Amino acid sequence: MKNLITSRLTAFLCTAVMVLGLTACGAKITGLSLPAGAVLEKGETLQMDLQYNTEPQTDADALAEAAEKLELIWTSDDETVAAVDENGLVTAVGAGETTIRVTARGGELSGSCLVTVVVTARDLVVPDTLELVTNGQNSANLNAAATPEDATGVTFTYTSSDESIATVDETGLVTAVANGEADITVTLTQAFPIATGETATAESARQPVTLTATTHVTVTTAVERIELDKTEGVLTVGSTHKIKAAVLPDTATDQTLTWTSSDERVATVDASGEVTAKKAGSAVITASCGDVSAQYNLTVQNIKCSYCGKTGHISSNCPTKAADEAAAAAAAQAAAEQAAQQQAATSGDSSTPSNDPPVGSSGFDDQYGSWFVTESHDWTQDPSNGDNPVIVK
């Protein structure tokens, strides 16, 4: 406490001495003056231009002498925005506003300057691409940002190249409308404040900044489900069935179906959904499109013969049927031959072709140079016997 009183007393004495001194020199500083305002870029420095208000008829030398004796105290209301050193050199620290003050004679004299610190945008950052679906995640914000992040006074505007594909609102929210592609153009505009006491046309006024960037938006429709005409069926070995499948909604961008069989020994399936039954058993046929799938539960049965009732073959391949048919054919053949022989024996029918003379016929034998009559004829019963020579070979 004693030290505080002592220092206050010292300050009072000094001030008293200074006032006397200035008065003695005939030059009295009656006020301090700083520019009303200044706009600084973050990181920039500015030497404050301090002006002294004096009594009339103060010459330059006297003023300089008086000013030298004046103890100035420089302060900033917010040192996170701008700092000032003991010589009035201001350094811009961060975006914002602060008042730089200079005082003397314990506050009797003072001046101030409103300092605005700005940060100029160097770049505009938006996503290169944005993917949306009409069903599900159908909107997203571009989150356009300036760099550096603390750029001051920036505004963004948005336009879509095709609003039938995607729209964008004033906050940068993009909403899918229909399948397709569109570009969203973002424009960053940065305006700077005018220093207090200056005009927009002042040389020191900062020019607005404009930056643009584009995001390419792709809108698709996701597959919701696959619809099969049937979800189960029974096939016999060797037969085929084509499963009809539809990817829904019909606007789904990906309509590609992939078919798989849970057991290819039982049944296979081709790219068109055609199932071929291979072996008795069960298999699950799956149709897939992306992450979505549908299943067809297949049962494969052995084929059953309608002729013999056994499995494993159909009647056209039935061994029993074949054997029965062969036996029947042989019996029919034998009966036919027997009938033909009986007919020939009674009618002398020579319809059966042969290298030998027909049974019961007669002719001229080249080998023997004589006429013959075949042996089987029963000449004893033939009343024409006496008219024909009998040749025995």
Residues that bind Zn ion (CB under 5 A): 305, 307-308, 318
Torsion of CA 247, 250, 252, 254, to 10 degrees: 50
Instruction: Write the CB contacts of 247 (distance below 8 Å, at least 6 apart in sequence).
Output: 223, 226, 254, 255, 257, 289, 292
Pick the closer one to Zn ion by CB: 29 or 237.
Answer: 237
Compare residues 46 and 303 and give the one whose CB is closer to Zn ion: 303
User: Measured from the CB atom, is 323 or 390 closer to Zn ion?
Assistant: 323
DSSP H/E element including 241? strand 240-242
Question: Smallest distance, Å, CB 266 to Zn ion?
Answer: 23
Q: Name which of 192, 196, 202, 203 is nearest 36 in CA terms.
A: 196
Nearest distance from residue 244's CB to Zn ion, in Å? 34
Task: Output the smallest distance, CB 317 to Zn ion, in A.
Answer: 8
Taking the least distance from each CB to Zn ion, the nearer of 286 and 320 is 320
* CA dist., res. 380 & res. 390, Å (int): 12
Q: Are 158 and 185 in contact (CB under 8 A)?
A: yes
Between 165 and 318, whose beta carbon lies closer to Zn ion?
A: 318
State the DSSP code for 183. E
Tokens 């140079």 -> residue:
369
Largest pairwise CA distance in the chain: 199
Q: Which is nearer to Zn ion, 144 or 318 (CB)?
A: 318
Coil/strand/helix, residue 25: helix
- The nearest distance, CB 323 to Zn ion, in angstroms, is 10
| Contact of 39 with 206, CB cutoff 8 Å | yes
Smallest gap from residue 233 Cβ to Zn ion (A): 25
Minimum Å distance from CB 277 to Zn ion? Answer: 19
User: In this structure, are strands 145-147 and 180-190 parallel, antiparallel, or unpaired?
Assistant: unpaired
The one-letter code for the residue type at 155 is T
Question: Considering beta carbons, is residue 183 or 307 the nearer one to Zn ion?
Answer: 307
Are 183 and 217 a contacting pair, CB within 8 Å?
Answer: yes
How far apart are CB 324 and Zn ion at their closest, in Å?
Answer: 10
Report, in Å, the least distance between residue 322 CB and Zn ion.
9
Nearer residue to Zn ion within complex by CB, 244 or 310 = 310
Query: Number of helices (H) and strands (E), helices first, in the chain?
Result: 3, 29
Closest CA to 340 of 329, 328, 353: 353
Query: Across the strands, what pairs with 299?
Result: 234, 282
The torsion angle over the Cα atoms of residues 377, 379, 385 and 390, rounded to 10 degrees, is: 70
